[in-house]
Amino acid sequence: MTTTRYGIKENQVRAFNKMIRVSHQKLNLVCDLVRGLPVERAVDVLKFSKKRVAGEVLKTLLSAVANAEHNKKLPVDTLFVKEIWCGKALTMKRIMAGPRGSARPILKPFSNLTIVLESGVAPSKKKVKKETAK
């Protein structure tokens, strides 16, 4: 299998969402929910998630599905989330009045999100059984 630009294979497609107004720690919690899932299952998980940022992740996932359909002509029913990651973007710095005339910083972070979908069979996650010590 040959790789194309940015290390993406021919049966893979990606989508970005930049400058999401949430910290990367909160975004990573939602990313962990859909990592490795088939697209249909990932859409269901994101639609019923109570996290505010789940809507942005859903929008990016649907954009990646549209890229797969339109640009690469991949079948939608075989797509799964191969990779999903987030990273820091810029942080807006504001100042709030503090006691006795001092100032307190307010940090308003932004994040970037990248989703890579792959066509094929999703690898099953193996559950490891813990042995009980006697």
Query: Could you tell me the two tokens for 71?
Result: 């640009």
Number of H-type helices and E-type strands within the chain: 3, 3
In sequence order, the 6+-apart residues with CB closer than 8 A to the CB of 35 are 81, 83, 84
Q: Where are the domains of the chain?
A: 9-119
pTM, 2 dp: 0.85
CB-based burial, 59-76: b 16+ in 10 Å, e otherwise: ebbebbbebbeeeeebee
pLDDT at residue 103, rounded to an integer: 96
Residue 124: its pLDDT value, please? 75
Residues 6 or more apart in contact with residue 125 via CB below 8 angstroms: 36
Pick out the chain residues at pLDDT < 70: 1-6, 125-129, 134
Task: Report the CATH superfamily, name and number, of domain 9-119.
Answer: Ribosomal protein L22/L17 (3.90.470.10)
